[in-house]
Amino acid sequence: MLKKTIFIENKFSLTTKYNQLVLKSETKESTIPIEDIGFLVLDHNWTFFIIIEKLILASYPFFT
């Protein structure tokens, strides 16, 4: 399966819900299935890396 590269250069809130990455901005909300993500590139000054651990644990249940 082809994996997607997600490039985020604006201020977004990143969370996970039901094995999907939820991107929330001030104007809209989008979801992307975690199993479809190949690369996640975060290029913004307000980027925090707490979400990475959740993404890895949600994508690979054998880590838990």
The tally of domains found in the chain comes to: 1
What pLDDT shows up at residue 2? 78
What is the domain extent for residue 55? Answer: 4-63
What pLDDT shows up at residue 62? 54
Give the residue with greater pLDDT, 9 vs 64. Answer: 9
What pLDDT shows up at residue 29? 92
In angstroms, rounded to a whole number, what is the distance separating the alpha carbons of residues 44 and 14?
13
> Does this model's pTM top 0.85?
no
Per-residue pLDDT of 1-51, as tens digits, reads 678 898 888 888 888 888 888 888 889 999 999 888 888 888 877 665 555
In angstroms, rounded to a whole number, what is the distance separating the alpha carbons of residues 33 and 10?
20
